Structure 1
């Protein structure tokens, strides 16, 4: 009779009491592409890639009013942009695993930035609005390939919390810079589409850096890393959906990413219309939230590694709920800005922690497919939950925003508790710090 795997906080995720799958003897222990210097270059390249993802996603809110004015759109029409981005993510989730098995990580390093370059150049040409939506689908596809792939790769590393924190911290840096740059361009009398020329340049640099870093990571290298020489993407997908971890993580990302996006998307309107702050101070609330998240993701990964991802994430959620409760009752604009910075800081590790736990619960060959799938569900939540808040605000007023994000964060905590209680499949994976 097999023993129950030891998943204590101070023990490896799997130890000698569990069965492991033999590793093929002809696989080299360390290739030239897996030296410490090479790994550091890959991490740096992925960090820059995530910075560009942050630029893409965070700048959308600042671009929307400019788009609406240029194309004479109603709020309903311009809001379709929020829906087409997740569509690209969903497509990416369906094809990411196939790209890995046929072209390796090198294929992702090529396809993702190329799609971003094409979409930005097309948007910069400012065609009819319907074609702009098509460009945003392509951009979502490229972003989804890069996001899911590098998340899965980082989550399977030995110091997964630290590396994932670095990636998502880089994303938040881009998230903080993007709206500021768009506002700066608009204040200087520049057209909205000139921002997409800048994004095209950033994506081109991303292409160069990623291809250089992952040039040796072809299909053979990827299959060897997963101990498989058979391309069976459909089988992987079917097996992935049989694991409860996939569905619990998808539910967690659906609620959490929706909460994160709702905060960044509505807090400026709330501060301006309800707290009667100046437009500049209202904008600082959003920027402060992203800056806090960047710092949290870059620094709290180390604390998460030491405390343990399950216990640490529950602690972060409890602190976030307390901060949101304070934000709901204070009336000072200055205090509200400080609370948003603190909230962003403490929420920083919440997304990377979900990726880390998922990769510990699933066999290695399912990581890319599973992370791509749950990331796409997260983007769906990032589109639907802000719309839901908008519908409530339409009927009850903008003041309800502060209570809506509090309820959503509590819901995310409950989903996390259920997700974190799952036990891993028996597999030889890197050491992880997870408690009972």
Structure 2
């Protein structure tokens, strides 16, 4: 059986592209296609940056939402629980939308859901109305997330394209808390004003994506996919084929815990810093910024390190370092040091999600890669809702200081699940499969 490290030769072989050699005849005819591809990459990068803004600012808004709606921590947890169902619906709808409307349908419907949710939230609706708006945002995120990730993996340079998309997400996620904090500070602390800005970003996203994918209708989608009968057959059978594989379930369990931990840190760190450590809101928001900025740096720097060391060995080391850093964070109360420690935690969390996708792809047939990744990512979103909600319930019962203990326990469980997940040996990858998945290590 081949190990993850055995893929290096195949990966490097795939990188020996004819772009480095003589130009083939008729290359000039490819210029319009290259320009069209570049415009689509730029459009999807913008989309992922907007996703980063949506994802990273929930924690910054949480204290304001609790105050404005007079919510307890457990009631505020409903915000997280509004995410998984629409996200799962979006994941299940992706195949149908592609079949009926093509990628152009995703390019329009996803941003429209973002726009509708943002405009609705900006009107300061009652709390149940805000939850509906948040669910609309989650539906839009579910549509574009899986669609553009799969699209990027099918490009001529999947490593490069995936890296650009997820790099854009990291930039948006790192910038989001700081921008939201600035907006709310200049608007007398009105949280709903931030959604005006998100609505504007969603409108730009809609315009750019609709233009970039204007010719990708259903007919073109079926023409492009006609050479992949196994994938089309799988879509017709739904998820039943995917769940036959133990690796899929183990990866889903791992992501359930990891994504939940990541979301819990992002969602509650601002409230923890302001309530437990009495830090000013502006500095507390910097803690969230530090976490996401660290994650962006970690994905950039640790991705190549992970490939060189090997996924099996690297991820447990990252998790142990993260837990040790968490212990130091619990002991050191200095705000500046806390921001630095959270950035360190974010950095070592950076490769954890993409590493699981790479290992999963090595353990299952290539014909179910897209469906399997969509499934485990959706399960991860369930964890991203359930575990932050659990912290809200625990916080209301015993106090927000329990946040640190719960996070440490979740990280320990994540480590155990990773060891169980990677206990099996992955199958050998073809050079195409290796090329399409290895680049995720630097993206995620």
Question: Same fold per TM (> 0.5)?
Answer: yes
CA contact (8 A) 2:178 2:286 kept: no
CA pair 71-295 structure 1, distance change in 2 beyond 3 A: same
For residues 265-287 of structure 1, give each alpha carbon's deviation from its aligned partner in whole angstroms, at most 9, with x where no partner exists: 22233333434444333322222
CA contact (8 A) 1:71 1:129 kept: yes
Give the C-alpha shift of residue 232 in structure 1. 5.5
Distance in 1 of aligned mates of 2:321 and 2:159: 19
The corresponding residue for 1:126 is 124
Distance in 1 of aligned mates of 2:210 and 2:337: 45
Pick aligned residue for 2:399 from 397, 402, 405: 397
Give the 3-state SS of the residue equivalent to 1:328 in structure 2: helix
Give the 3-state SS of the residue equivalent to 2:6 in structure 1: coil
CA contact (8 A) 2:73 2:395 kept: no
CA pair 405-233 structure 1, distance change in 2 beyond 3 A: same
The corresponding residue for 1:11 is 7
For residues 334-370 of structure 1, give each alpha carbon's deviation from its aligned partner in whole angstroms, at most 9, with x where no partner exists: 2222111111112112122223333343344433332
CA pair 413-80 structure 1, distance change in 2 beyond 3 A: same
The reply on whether 1:111 has 2:113 as its aligned counterpart is no
For residues 216-272 of structure 1, give each alpha carbon's deviation from its aligned partner in whole angstroms, at most 9, with x where no partner exists: 554225523634585663414111111222211211111001111111222233333
CA contact (8 A) 1:165 1:299 kept: no
Give the C-alpha shift of residue 163 in structure 1. 5.0
TM-score by length of 1: 0.82
Distance in 2 of aligned mates of 1:258 and 1:42: 31
Pick aligned residue for 1:171 from 169, 173, 182: 169
CA contact (8 A) 1:93 1:145 kept: yes
Give the 3-state SS of the residue equivalent to 1:238 in structure 2: coil
For residues 276-309 of structure 1, give each alpha carbon's deviation from its aligned partner in whole angstroms, at most 9, with x where no partner exists: 4443333222221111112222333333344444
CA contact (8 A) 1:268 1:282 kept: yes
Distance in 2 of aligned mates of 1:160 and 1:278: 43
Alignment of 1:41-120 (within 5 A): 41-120=39-118
Pick aligned residue for 1:282 from 281, 284, 288: 284
The corresponding residue for 2:442 is none
Distance in 1 of aligned mates of 2:176 and 2:327: 28
Alignment of 1:253-402 (within 5 A): 253-402=255-404
Bigger mean CA deviation after superposition, 283-292 or 222-231: 222-231
Bigger mean CA deviation after superposition, 96-105 or 193-202: 96-105
Distance in 1 of aligned mates of 2:3 and 2:258: 25
Pick aligned residue for 2:147 from 146, 149, 168: 149
For residues 396-427 of structure 1, give each alpha carbon's deviation from its aligned partner in whole angstroms, at most 9, with x where no partner exists: 43333223222211211221222234455688
Distance in 2 of aligned mates of 1:50 and 1:185: 21
Give the C-alpha shift of residue 84 in structure 1. 1.1
CA contact (8 A) 1:92 1:142 kept: yes
The reply on whether 1:250 has 2:252 as its aligned counterpart is yes
In structure 2, runs of 5+ residues without a counterpart are 12-26, 439-444
Distance in 2 of aligned mates of 1:157 and 1:314: 31
CA contact (8 A) 2:117 2:134 kept: yes
The structure in which a higher percent of residues are helix is 2
Give the C-alpha shift of residue 35 in structure 1. 6.4
Pick aligned residue for 2:178 from 180, 198, 201: 180
CA contact (8 A) 1:49 1:206 kept: yes
The corresponding residue for 2:221 is 219
Bigger mean CA deviation after superposition, 345-354 or 33-42: 33-42
Aligned residue pairs total: 416
The reply on whether 1:207 has 2:206 as its aligned counterpart is yes
Distance in 2 of aligned mates of 1:48 and 1:411: 35
For residues 302-329 of structure 1, give each alpha carbon's deviation from its aligned partner in whole angstroms, at most 9, with x where no partner exists: 3334444443333322322222232233
Distance in 2 of aligned mates of 1:134 and 1:220: 34
CA contact (8 A) 2:7 2:429 kept: no
Give the 3-state SS of the residue equivalent to 1:11 in structure 2: helix
Output the aligned Cα RMSD. 3.3
TM-score by length of 2: 0.81
CA pair 298-241 structure 1, distance change in 2 beyond 3 A: same
Bigger mean CA deviation after superposition, 46-55 or 68-77: 68-77
